[in-house]
Amino acid sequence: MDVIITNQPEKVAADIIETFVRDNATLGLATGSTPLPTYRELIRRHEEKNLSFAQCQAFLLDEYIGLPITHEQSYYRTIRREFTSRIDIPDAKVHSPNGMALDSVAAGHDYDAAIKAAGGVDIQILGVGTDGHIAFNEPGSAFASRTRPTSLHPQTVKDNSRFFEGDEAKVPRRVLTQGLATIMEARHLVLIATGSGKKEAVAALVDGPVDTACPASVLQRHPHATVIVDEAAAALLSKK
């Protein structure tokens, strides 16, 4: 695991992602607020440096169950609003788990099959939850887990309520998420964490034991994982 401490995480992340985009890679996209500056930097490079995503495809990590894709906070809509509608990737090539499927277990299997059929994810962008979750794999998620329906931890409901007018009651409890084993199959993992709210999670995932109590710690087992953090998120790391 490579750990990069920088005051420009979005630039470091965009530099890595750009090399994959120029190779027409399959991109793994994350939602949440952390990757937004990176997406803005990539949009800038698209507009100013002719960085083209036309030959790429993209797979999202997760989706809320029961939110229609027309809902502003569905990840289907979020990724289009914040990123993919502002670059030249064809919309049909932006895939996400079907949170409205009648059978969400089957929808999970279908999603894993779609990733496989696309040749796998080349570069996966990740954020991390304050409780160490990646995608929506909450503490206790099996390292062997695949795309599946699961439930949110109360802390995540609280953290994500800011996207739902601050009202925890409006946050869906059920989600469809890529599993940890699915994520680990991506060829390069890039996890970005910024701000002091993430310092405990970053210390646990980098320095702690590989343990399902901190799902992100599984990255220690990946052959090519890069963790990009700012000073605030790095504050509790043992080696700085």
Residues classed as catalytic: 62, 131, 133, 138
Among 14, 17, 27, 31, binds ligand GLP (CB under 6 A): 31
Contact 34, 10 (CB under 8 A): no
- DSSP secondary structure letter of residue 58: E
- DSSP secondary structure letter of residue 218: G
Q: Which stretch binds ligand GLP (CB under 6 A): 40-48, 50-58, 129-137, 221-229?
A: 129-137
**Residue 32 within binding range of ligand GLP, rule CB under 6 A:** yes
H helices within the chain, ranges in order?
9-22, 36-49, 75-82, 104-117, 154-160, 180-184, 199-207
Name the one residue in this structure whose structure tokens are 């952390």: 34
CB of 34 vs ligand GLP, minimal distance in Å: 3
3-state secondary structure of 166: coil
**Residue 99 within binding range of ligand GLP, rule CB under 6 A:** no
Among 97, 108, 127, 149, binds ligand GLP (CB under 6 A): 127
Of residues 132-151, those binding ligand GLP (CB under 6 A):
135-136
**Residue 43 within binding range of ligand GLP, rule CB under 6 A:** no
**In DSSP terms, which residues pair with 64 in a beta bridge?**
175
Q: Which stretch binds ligand GLP (CB under 6 A): 29-37, 93-101, 115-123, 217-225?
A: 29-37
